[in-house]
A and B are shown apart, each in its own frame.
Chain A
């Protein structure tokens, strides 16, 4: 049986490909809503998640605009409480938790394994429907009066406030199950659908990252589920588990809540790190450095993330003993993250670096995530956290890791896999402009918040002392610049869908399996048998000026095995 080379496939006329991919197979809304194709599900998630990011961003801009002046600027204090709550709840539950796994994970992971789909396609569709239903319930909650408790729903305020807590927590509960099912699916897929010859340590690191994320999703999210259920029971029935007026314990609520919500932040960052491993290698045109270290560090982060939740509770009334234990354990979780950062840097060393847009985002990630991670140490240290807790220092820290980390890596991954998803190249020039605007806007917005916070500006405050006004104003103008960056990115990406240059199979020179198939792929993922080898054997590829993509230098190499079809 002959093996088609990717080069030959790419040289086929664009016309035949246009009719032979997952986007065009089957028309009409129902063919999408009832699809079992992981690629279509990934794209639908992408639309939903980017819309949620936009909604959460609108709330953010409202918050920042209000903070231009102390006291009332554009809204009342009660409305302000709702705005920051909704910003947090929408961004966390609708955008960032599903985020990378549901979109890029769903699309790319089966391709990287040479598989035709995830292990449980109907469960995948169920995940997506649950996401949609949860989103509808959350939006309904917003319309019904919204919530003003902060996204953390601390008792006893959340059990006594008159706002729409029940519907919002119900929405989050449903979204939690969407997340659980996605994680479950990926665990089974990675265990059972790897091709012959692809042992665990021959998988791409992106898969390791998504797998580690899935472990957390499966173990932690159910505890959020029971917590929200108890909160709903507290409000409707008055069960008195968390409400002190009925004999309950509000600090216990925080234990319940953070047992999920701390691992949740690693659900947010692990997939971003997973993307980073791919980008670092491909755009340095060099084999990843320290593959096993990076792989194991993903698992280590997943496990250690369950041991540190109390560092959110240092000032809550948690006992001194617990405070000390959690502070000490928190330092441990920094180690595997550092391992990754150093391995990425070592990957770049003596590489041939291309500063394409995905790489610009990857480099931004290194810088921003390092700042975010290091400032986490200030917060993990008990003595300093007593002063920094609930100040803008915390806000800046988590925005550096969640936004400067996850969102930046998400953008990098989106730009990296965009040609594969949609078969189009975007404008590289505009890509760079967008990345620059976002980088500058982000730092202006959030670096000022570190300074403010260390000077004592509390978070979630509507009113503030005059001395903080310059910081708030700088931060707000930064957020406008940041938004402009996103408008630019949205603009050229949408434009590329209609006018972008047709993409070759492998525009960047990646050695993982998704680059072996056409851009975009056919419904069955691989029209021909593919060649699989070391996923970071970047140097086995060469640029082919005819197709403007990369091809294998030696398709007959013994290092390659056949998979797929």
Chain B
């Protein structure tokens, strides 16, 4: 059953809050134990997948997107899209120009980087 406020806004049940909490704790446990298995480059992606699943739970249930205007969820996803563009192109470019870097060449250092 779902409760609502006088104005018709959805109220989360205690059961729902606790179920999501348990799921998040389990997810955390899974993430940590996964690091003890060496799956090469797959490790990071498994970790990200679990983290994203947790994030989706938090967003949908704790942050109420499940019962909210879809537009709010849409703009939340849009933020990640633009962040993805930024990170993606920065990764592409930096990877591409690593070969052009000159080893051992740096400006004279020391804590002489000026203050202020």
B90 within 8 A of A: yes
A: residues with CB less than 8 A from B are 156, 159-162, 164, 166, 191, 219, 223, 235, 238, 243-246, 249, 251-252, 255, 259, 306-307, 310, 317-322, 325
CB of B109 within 8 A of CB of A255, answer: no
CB of A243 within 8 A of CB of B113, answer: yes
A4-B90 Cα distance, complex, nearest whole Å: 59
A259-B93 Cα distance, complex, nearest whole Å: 13
A223-B86 Cα distance, complex, nearest whole Å: 10
CB of A245 within 8 A of CB of B113, answer: yes
- Selected from B82, B93, B113, the residue in CB contact (under 8 A) with A255 is B93
**Nearest-CB residue, chain A, relative to B79:** A219
**What are 18 A-B interface contacts by the 8 Å CB criterion?**
A159-B113, A160-B114, A219-B79, A235-B113, A244-B107, A246-B109, A251-B97, A255-B86, A255-B89, A255-B93, A259-B86, A317-B97, A318-B93, A318-B97, A319-B93, A319-B96, A321-B93, A322-B89
How many inter-chain residue pairs (CB < 8 Å) link A and B? 64
A22-B70 Cα distance, complex, nearest whole Å: 38
A255-B89 Cα distance, complex, nearest whole Å: 9
A280-B106 Cα distance, complex, nearest whole Å: 56
CB of B116 within 8 A of CB of A322, answer: no
A156-B107 Cα distance, complex, nearest whole Å: 9
A246-B94 Cα distance, complex, nearest whole Å: 17
- Give the chain A neighbours of B116 by CB distance below 8 A: 162, 164, 166, 235
CB of B94 within 8 A of CB of A245, answer: no
- Give the chain A neighbours of B82 by CB distance below 8 A: 219, 306
B111 within 8 A of A: yes
A510-B85 Cα distance, complex, nearest whole Å: 41
A326-B88 Cα distance, complex, nearest whole Å: 13
B: residues with CB less than 8 A from A are 71, 78-79, 82, 85-86, 89-90, 92-94, 96-97, 100, 106-109, 111, 113-116
A379-B107 Cα distance, complex, nearest whole Å: 31
- Give the chain A neighbours of B106 by CB distance below 8 A: 244-245
Least distance between A230 CB and chain B CB atoms (Å): 14
CB of B113 within 8 A of CB of A321, answer: no
A207-B36 Cα distance, complex, nearest whole Å: 55
**Nearest-CB residue, chain A, relative to B100:** A317
A320-B93 Cα distance, complex, nearest whole Å: 9
**Nearest-CB residue, chain B, relative to A144:** B116
A252-B114 Cα distance, complex, nearest whole Å: 21
**Nearest-CB residue, chain B, relative to A162:** B114
Least distance between A158 CB and chain B CB atoms (Å): 11
CB of B96 within 8 A of CB of A321, answer: yes
Least distance between A319 CB and chain B CB atoms (Å): 3
CB of B107 within 8 A of CB of A321, answer: no
- Give the chain A neighbours of B114 by CB distance below 8 A: 160-162
Q: Which of B90, B92, B96, B116 has the most CB of A within 10 A?
A: B116
A321-B98 Cα distance, complex, nearest whole Å: 13
CB of A322 within 8 A of CB of B111, answer: no
**Nearest-CB residue, chain B, relative to A240:** B113
**Nearest-CB residue, chain A, relative to B111:** A238
CB of A245 within 8 A of CB of B86, answer: no
- Give the chain B neighbours of A235 by CB distance below 8 A: 113, 115-116
- Give the chain A neighbours of B89 by CB distance below 8 A: 255, 310, 322, 325
Least distance between B53 CB and chain A CB atoms (Å): 26
A307-B89 Cα distance, complex, nearest whole Å: 9
- Give the chain B neighbours of A246 by CB distance below 8 A: 109, 113
Least distance between A18 CB and chain B CB atoms (Å): 42
- Selected from B71, B97, B107, B109, the residue in CB contact (under 8 A) with A319 is B97
For the complex of A and B, 8 pairs with smallest distance between CB atoms: A319-B96, A322-B93, A245-B109, A319-B97, A245-B107, A255-B90, A321-B96, A319-B93
Least distance between A344 CB and chain B CB atoms (Å): 29
**Nearest-CB residue, chain B, relative to A307:** B85
- Give the chain A neighbours of B90 by CB distance below 8 A: 252, 255
Least distance between B69 CB and chain A CB atoms (Å): 9
Beyond A164-B116, A245-B109, A246-B109, list 15 extra A-B contacts (CB 8 Å).
A156-B107, A160-B113, A161-B114, A162-B114, A166-B116, A191-B71, A219-B78, A235-B113, A238-B111, A245-B107, A252-B90, A306-B82, A319-B96, A320-B96, A321-B93
A210-B59 Cα distance, complex, nearest whole Å: 29
Least distance between B88 CB and chain A CB atoms (Å): 11
CB of A321 within 8 A of CB of B94, answer: no
**Nearest-CB residue, chain A, relative to B109:** A245
User: Known contacts A160-B113, A235-B116; is A252 also within 8 Å of B85 by CB?
Assistant: no
- Give the chain B neighbours of A191 by CB distance below 8 A: 71
A160-B110 Cα distance, complex, nearest whole Å: 12
Least distance between A126 CB and chain B CB atoms (Å): 21
CB of A249 within 8 A of CB of B96, answer: no
- Give the chain A neighbours of B78 by CB distance below 8 A: 219
- Give the chain B neighbours of A318 by CB distance below 8 A: 93, 97
CB of B93 within 8 A of CB of A310, answer: yes
**Nearest-CB residue, chain B, relative to A156:** B107
Least distance between B45 CB and chain A CB atoms (Å): 24
